[in-house]
Structure 1
Amino acid sequence: MEMSNQQEMGKVERFFESILFGHRKLVIAVFAVLSVFFAYHATQLRPDASFQKMVPVTHPFIANYLKYENELRPLGNVLRIAVHNKNGTIYDAEFLEKLRQITDEVFYIPGVDRGNLSSIWTPNVMWRQVTEEGLRMGPVIGQGFAGTPEQIEAVKANVERSGRIGSLVSNDQRSAIILAPLLEVDPDTGEKLSYGKLATQVEELVRDKYQSDSIDIHITGFAKLVGDLIDGSKDIAGFFAITFILTVILLFWYSRCWKSTAATIFCCSLAVIWHLGAVSLLGFGLDPYSILVPFLTFAIGVSHAIQNVRTMAAERFQGANKIDASKATFRLLFIPGSVALLADAVGFSTLLVIEIGVIRELAISASIGVAVIIFTKMFLLPVLMSYTDVTESGLRRVAKQEAGKHTVSHLLSRLTEKKVAYGVAAVAGVILVLGLFASADIKIGDLDPGAPELRPNSRYNQDVKFLVENYSTSSDVFVVMVETPVGECGAYPVASVVDRFQWEMENVEGVEGTMSLFTIMKNIIAGFNGGNPKWLAISRDRFISNGAHKNIPTTLYNSECSMTPVILFLSDHKAETLERVVAKVQVFAAENDSADAKFVLAAGNSGIEAATNIVVEQAQRVMLLLVYSIIGALVWWEFKSFRVMLAIMIPLFITEVLCRVIMVQLNLGIKVATLPVIALGVGIGVDYGIYIYNRLESFLAKGLNFKDAYFETLRSTGVAVALTAVTLALGVFTWAFSAIKFQADMGMLLAFMFLWNMVGAIVLIPALVRLFAFGAVKKRFGPSVEGPAR
């Protein structure tokens, strides 16, 4: 059976070899035509980010939000623009005029929901006053405002009577906010809203135009955050250039052959162009997550091609001509290389279980990247190298390596000795146990205030900090929707249970305050009754409730009066806070839902983040199960031994645990930005084990004992494997300098996993094979594996 499998594999290799090397010029011509095709489409690629791509749209919370998206728009995707008077309060004619100009400027920005735009200059922001004649009301700044002292005093009084201090006006009354809800589709053009373009317009038309020595502008909101992420991603081109140059230097240092270096870099660059073109053909764009994938495509391509460079040079050194050396390189690397690349693809594809658009696009994009590497590295590179050959300096490099003492390889080959193997396994076991304890505290979701996607000192997070310090209403908003029969959203049965719900939620740690239709209704009812505090309550009288209901903003109920939102203002959006709020709401709903009122989760930026955390927590278990199961199956398929498969997979698990320890130390939770790291690290990390064990088997098949076979493995391919890890780590470590924090975090974590997986493969695999897979190895290759060392 085993011999049959090997024969089948040999047939596959010979089939592709005959095509590639029998029609070399045709192969190059086909690749040239395809490269022009993909290059053209790569130029059509554009930045792309949307609100719905960033959230788990299939989760019940998000489905409920989307059901009432139009009604909840003022509470959802909103820009908050705070205009701050450095020289005094907002009650200054010059400042108020500037605020009016900025409000008008924002009104005409494409994508703004103009009907729901709010500031103290818009007519939908009202003041209310109880007088002897009854309840009086009007806009905070009325028509005909000319900035006279009397009018400014009236504005001051109106602001105080409006109840908007702490929300639209800062607590110290030195700044005022413009709330600009956004539309996902531009009503003027019918096109999807471009967050990058919107953020640029806001910067140019508001901050750049109006910020001065006397006025500060602070802008927050999902659209601005995405815009800053897109803007920060522009540095990626520079990082790619640095990575490219360093990779060329590293590869040439290793091979000392400019021809091999040029052919490798050319093929891997071609892979990036094919990858970008294919992504464009699928209709995808580049978002702050997927823009990192070309780095991985290039790094993975180079790391695998290092094996080609080393094998080609070794074959030429042994006397083969360039055609035969290229064929031998193809035959030796086709199966292990293909399986390793399939494992990479599996690591990427398991991300599809995360039902978030940007992560699924990242998974598809990365899988495409691996697919094009199979063509450019596995097929094109050997053909090109059959023309380019290896330079004399490259051959001298091989000769020098062959003549070396290989002290490190001799030392590491002792890992195959039983006593040493026990010691190494014991140390690995201790590291694993300690890692499991240390990583037990890892959290789900964001653990820092502000926008954790950006650095703490970023302009966006400084703007968030300003709003938190100067306004009572938090920017972390959690919305619970209360569904009622049509026309009954203001009825007493609803009011009674919502009022009780608000009281209970205000006593939950992390909830700073609440607001609903009935918060305002109670104030209006009191106003109708001379402002007497005794009347500051909901009423059973339908006529009193209906009278008050007419004066409540329509943003607090839908057009059919069948849904009213309850707004919870949270102290932060940390995972623990969101978990407490969700748990309390669900308990209350389970105990109090009825035909009159049903409590439905969730909207607001914190409600959406809570849904995202739930999806990530559920998906991580499924993703890890899939990635280990499928990669394990691929390894078993190649080596036909369950124990060998375990020996190759265990180092990956230890590295994953250590990665979680680092996340705990760096105060990073498992979230949209960090969950892909684990799948990518495991999927790509298995490459080292596949290459090492495949090479080990080739020497065992020649009759070498286990120790000598491992020594030869290290001597012939050990440096290449180490360089593979360094190349991969280098390809992602430059992300650490990105202005975008999640890109920096991903870069550091992936660099760690790539390097540590290499260490684990070189050190642990021979020890583990010696301890519990040696019987299977001996059965397959005969008693010579136990023979005396040379």
Structure 2
Amino acid sequence: MSTKHHHDSDNYILTPEAEPFLERLFFNNRILFLLIFLGLTIFLTYSAINIKPDARLEKLIPLKHPYIMNMMENRDSLDNLGNSIRISVESTDGTVFNAEYMEALRLITDELFYIPGVDRAGLKSLWTANVRWVEVTEEGFQGGPVIPPTYDGSEESLDTLRQNILRSGTVGSLVANNFKSTIIQAPLFEKNPETGEQLDYQAFSHELETRIRAKFENDNIKVHIVGFAKKIGDLMDGIKDIGFFALIAIAITFVLLVWYARCLKSAVIPVICSIIAVFWQLGILNLLGFGLDPYSVLVPFLVFAIGISHGVQIINAVALESAEGRNKFDAARHAFRDLYVPGMLALMSDGIGFLTLLLIQIDVIQELAITASIGVAVIIFTNLVLLPLLMSYVGVSKSGVNYFKKNTEAEPKIAKIMSYCAHPTVAPISILIGIALAGAGVYYGQDLKIGDLDKGAPELHPDSRYNLDNAFITDNYSTSADVMVIMVKTEVEQCSSYQTMDAIDRFQWVMENVEGVQGTASLVTVSKIVSTGMNEGNLKWRSLSRNQQILNSSIQRAPAGLLNADCSLAPVILFLADHKAETLERVTAEAEKFAAEYKVDGELEFLLAAGSAGIDAATNQVIEAAQDRMLAFVYAVVSILCFITFRSIRAVLCIITPLGITSVLCEALMVYKGIGVKVETLPVIALGVGIGVDYGIYIYTRLETYIRDGLGLQAAYLETLKTTGKAVAFTGVTLAIGVVTWVWSSIKFQSNMGFLLTFMFLWNMVGALWLLPALARFLIRPEQIIAKERIRQQKQIADD
């Protein structure tokens, strides 16, 4: 047997002096290290239990992007345009002009007023005093609150209410175009001004559900709620699905491990060690002060998956050693010796690959990088060290050993057929197919978009409650929830000067003619309306006056948020049709072009951009700039590590090329499925590369081992398939089955990640088993490997 030949040639290594230092350290002190592992597991599990959710707005936006820096610098002057909620109260029984509806609206407004986190001073509803009507009469302007103090629910007062609403200019913004619903707007505090604690979006979302929706919805009243805090709250609620799917994945993995190993102990130990890795990861994160957000909460499952991947290799190696007659201690020790170098290489490649996500200046992605890297680091201890130590005590059952021995000695038809991937005739065909797939992936991947491609909240399914609420508001109101704010900065007391107002007027005209902009609002809008009113409503006067006193008079009662206290900032609000990537690109391009033309240093400057659409635009730009750089860095790091280990460019090409093809095919698949590159999808590619490189490293390591034993390439690959190849195929299929369940998640981004990860797990496995040997046929020189091995053996014997 070739495997026997391999170990016989290694017999000189079995002297204690020649045993690797780490092997002697761990296996000569098993009890000590098992006690250390037990203590750490108890301590870190306790820490993991105390980890808390963390979904702050600042984590989800690129704080170092110029747009966001401008927004944060002028945040106090923007009237909370960055974070607010909108509650639409719908009458299903006629219009809003009935006493029952108006009473419900009053009660809902009062209830919302007392929910912690709401900025009560900025609350807007038909029932709040800051919503007023104004009209021009022969005697000048007259006005008052939309709902006057004399309102009593009678038909007469409802008629007055109708008139006030029509005069208030709130139709399309606070009042639906069909008069069947109205909106309550509530800006939010990021921190509780009394306690200083961060706003808990999940708790706030639950308050809205219990104190607003559940309490007031009935046959005649429907409640629709949108806003960043509500979206994040719904996402955090969806985490329970992640836990459910994780349990399903663990169960599936365990059943498949039992089937694969034919040994209960060999199935239980890898699962336990991988779960320990997850608890260690979460415990360390909690000690470092990190929490779990809706995006990084998926990482623990990936850590479990990576742990299982390496655990299967260890179990496979222990079983093979046991099949050759070694006792459980020696079998575990030899398995550790054979696999800790390729295992550590694979995990280091995973970890450094994940760390490349630090290049993206968005806290949530950077924390995801740290979270994943910590998880990979702990796997080195839990699955490469703890697992072999435990197996040295429990071993593989006799039935499991016999099963592995039988499979190793047999010539499985599938392995025999697969070995032809390394045949001189078949290999060129495989490479041509690989080139064709890569070309197709590059061609179709050219249409890959950055950012959101759908309306509503892309993190949730179109039929989710949040997106249905968003669709209702979009369909029934004129003002969009997708708002971009351009900050016009001037010298103190100059935001209302004619020069500034004229520039804003020109800017609004330009932007209103950009596709995707529904409308605009600014001080100029107010000034024109007031000027018209001051001249008996004559539309000829709907323009800017060059008289500064008239201008100043026209903006005296401008709403809060259209200028700051010292009149050095005047926001221009752009209402966009949606937040799709192409819409944001068009709008920001025109706004930046205008800003560059009209900039006067120290006097007048148009600064981009605040509002939800401004945040989305900045995020898209950061991701677009970092995407290619991140991928290049991932592949560069993995290639360097492989080269350091194998000392061969040819080996690096064999391992990395299948991963590259998988990456371009994944991008083409994203185009086909209508998935854009966003905060939640960008890490998938890096994660897929990090996990996929494990397959290639294990396959190539075993293949090179058999070549050093003197086997030809195809024969060496056949032996590889019967041992490591079987484990790689099992791992790829098992992990794919585990994550494919995510497709049915209530959270759309988890569904997308499950779909993409399933594809990458399977295709990375296929690439390692199919394309790697074909590349080896042209790149690997077996005679050089054998010659190097002989030199190494001679040097080792001389040293001994």
Q: When the two structures are superposed, what TM-score results if normalisation uses the length of structure 2? A: 0.95
Match of 2:55 among 29, 49, 52: 49
Question: Does 2:375 correspond to 1:369?
Answer: yes
Matches of residues 535-550 of structure 1 in structure 2 within 5 Å?
A: 535-550=541-556
1:780 counterpart = 2:780: no
Q: Aligned in 2, Cα 1:121/1:784: closer, same or farther, shift over 3 Å?
A: closer
Counterpart of 2:720 in structure 1 is: 713
The question of whether the paired residues in 1 share the 8 Å contact of 2:709 and 2:786 is answered with no
Q: How many residues align?
A: 776
**Separation (CA, whole Å) in 2 of partners of 1:402 and 1:669:** 45
2:731 is aligned, of 704, 724, 728, to 724
Shift of 1:11: 8.9
Structure 1 position 376, deviation (Å): 0.6
Residue in 2 that maps onto 1:529: 535
Map of 2:309 onto structure 1 = 303
- 8 Å CA contact 2:526–2:555 kept in 1: the answer is no
* In the alignment, structure 1 residue 274 sits paired with structure 2 residue 280: yes
C-alpha change, 1:11 and 1:706, in structure 2 (3 Å) is: farther
CA drift of 1:145 comes to 2.2
Equivalent residue for 1:193?
199
The whole-number CA distance in structure 1 between the counterparts of 2:514 and 2:786 is 66
1:557 aligns with 2:572: no
Q: Which residue of 2 aligns with 1:448?
A: 454
Deviations 1:597-650 (A, max 9, x none): 211000110110000000000110111111000000011111111122012111
Match of 1:580 in 2: 586
1:235, 1:738 within 8 Å by CA — same for their partners in 2?
A: yes
Q: CA RMSD in A?
A: 1.6
Q: Residue in 2 aligned with 1:35?
A: 41
**Equivalent of residue 478 in structure 1, options 480, 484, 495:** 484
The Cα offsets for residues 215-242 of structure 1, whole Å up to 9 and x where unpaired, read as: 0100000000000000111122211111
Query: 1:696 deviation in Å?
Result: 0.7
Counterpart residue number, 1:735 = 742
What displacement does 1:783 show? 11
Partner of 1:353: 359
Aligned pair partner of 2:222 in 188, 192, 216: 216
Please identify, of 348-357 and 215-224, the stretch whose mean Cα deviation from structure 2 is larger: 348-357
Deviates more, 1:93-102 or 1:571-580: 93-102
Residue 707 of structure 2 aligns with an amino acid whose one-letter code is L
Q: 1:118 aligns with which of 105, 110, 124?
A: 124
Q: In structure 2, what residue type is equivalent to 1:254?
A: Y
In structure 2, the residue matched to 1:428 is 434
Q: Answer yes or no: is 1:260 the counterpart of 2:266.
A: yes
2:470 match = 464
Correspondence 1:173 to 2:179: yes
Counterpart of 2:796? none
Code of the residue aligned with 1:746 in structure 2: it is: M
In structure 2, the residue corresponding to 1:619 is in which secondary structure? helix
CA contact 1:478–1:569 (8 Å) conserved in 2: yes
Separation in structure 2 between the aligned mates of residue 393 and residue 179 of structure 1, nearest angstrom: 68
Question: Which residue in the other structure is 1:754 paired with?
Answer: 761
2:294 is aligned to 288
Query: What does residue 9 of structure 2 align with?
Result: none
1:518 and 1:143 map into 2 onto residues whose CA distance is: 32
Pairing 1:512–2:518 present:
yes
2:493 corresponds in structure 1 to: 487
Deviation digits for residues 433-466 of structure 1 (CA, Å, limit 9, x no counterpart): 1111111111111001111100000000000100
Q: CA deviation at 1:695?
A: 0.3
Query: C-alpha separation between the residues in 1 aligned to 2:435 and 2:413?
Result: 27
Q: Secondary structure at the match of 1:555?
A: coil
1:487-539 Cα shifts (integer Å, max 9, x gaps): 11111111111111101111101111111111011111111121111111111
Give me the whole-angstrom Cα distance separating, in 1, the residues matched to 2:364 and 2:44: 23
Which residue pairs with 2:635 in the alignment?
628
* Matching residue's letter, 1:244: I
- 1:136 matched to which residue of 2? 142
1:3 corresponds to: none
User: Is residue 763 of structure 1 aligned with residue 742 of structure 2?
Assistant: no
1:681 aligned residue (678, 682, 688): 688
Answering whether residue 628 of structure 2 is matched by residue 616 of structure 1, we say: no
Task: Give, in whole Å, the separation in 1 of the partners of 2:560 and 2:304.
Answer: 53
Q: Please tell me the residue identity of whatever aligns with 1:740.
A: I
SS at match of 2:561: helix
Distance in 1 between the 2:783 and 2:618 partners? Answer: 52
Q: 2:557 & 2:349 partners in 1: Cα distance?
A: 63
CA deviations 1:280-334 (Å, max 9, x no partner) are: 1111111111111110111110111101111111111101111111110000000
Q: SS at 2:399's partner residue? A: helix
> Is 2:482–2:578's contact at 8 Å kept on the other side of the alignment?
yes
Asked if the contact 2:68–2:615 (Cα under 8 Å) also holds between the matched residues in 1, the reply is yes
**In 1, distance between residues paired with 2:109 and 2:680?**
35
| 1:378 aligned residue (384, 387, 397) | 384
What is residue 572 of structure 2 aligned with on the other side? 566
CA–CA separation in structure 2 for the residues paired with 1:624 and 1:13: 38
Letter in 1 for 2:653: L
Q: 1:558 Cα shift? A: 0.9
**What is aligned with 2:69?**
63
Amino acid at match of 1:56: P
> Partner of 2:4 in structure 1?
none
1:219 alignment partner, SS class: strand
Which residue does 1:313 correspond to in 2? Answer: 319
1:597-608 maps to which residues of 2 (within 5 A)?
597-608=604-615
Following the alignment from structure 2 to structure 1, what is the Cα–Cα distance between the partners of residues 641 and 621?
A: 31
Give the secondary-structure state (helix, strand or coil) at the position aligned to 2:185. Answer: strand
Name the SS of the counterpart of 1:141 in structure 2.
coil
Q: Secondary structure at the match of 1:750?
A: helix
- Partner residue of 1:250? 256
SS of 1:472's equivalent in the other structure is coil
8 Å contact kept, 1:313–1:394: yes
* Alignment partner, residue 703 of structure 1: 710
Aligned counterpart, 1:411: 417
Shift of 1:159: 0.8
1:225-240 equivalence runs, <5 A: 225-240=231-246
Tell me how far apart the structure 1 counterparts of residues 465 and 560 of structure 2 sit (CA, whole Å).
34
Q: Which letter does structure 2 place at the counterpart of 1:439?
A: G
Query: Given the alignment, which residue of 162, 166, 185 partners 1:160?
Result: 166
User: Secondary structure of the residue that 2:143 maps to in structure 1?
Assistant: strand
Q: 1:340 aligns with which of 325, 346, 354?
A: 346
Partners of 1:259 and 1:391 within 8 A in 2: yes
Q: Secondary structure at the match of 1:531?
A: coil
- Distance across 1 between alignment mates of 2:673 and 2:374: 32
Question: What amino acid is the match of 1:575?
Answer: A
AA of the residue aligned to 1:706: L
Aligned residue identity for 1:176: T
Contact 1:295 1:731 in 2 (8 A): no
Gapped regions of structure 2 (runs ≥ 5): 1-11, 791-800
- Post-superposition Cα deviations, 1:734-782, rounded to whole Å, max 9, x if no partner, equal 22221100011011101110110110111111111211x234x432324
1:90 aligns with 2:96: yes
Q: Secondary structure at the match of 1:514?
A: strand
CA distance in 2, matches of 1:13, 1:481: 68
2:82 and 2:101 mapped to 1: Cα distance?
A: 28
Q: Deviations over 1:544-583 (max 9, x none)?
A: 1111221111211111111111111111110000000010
The aligned amino acid for 1:738 is: S
Q: CA deviation at 1:403?
A: 3.8
Secondary structure of the structure 1 residue equivalent to 2:238: helix
- Summarize the Cα distance change of 1:565–1:709 in structure 2 as closer, same or farther, 3 Å threshold: same
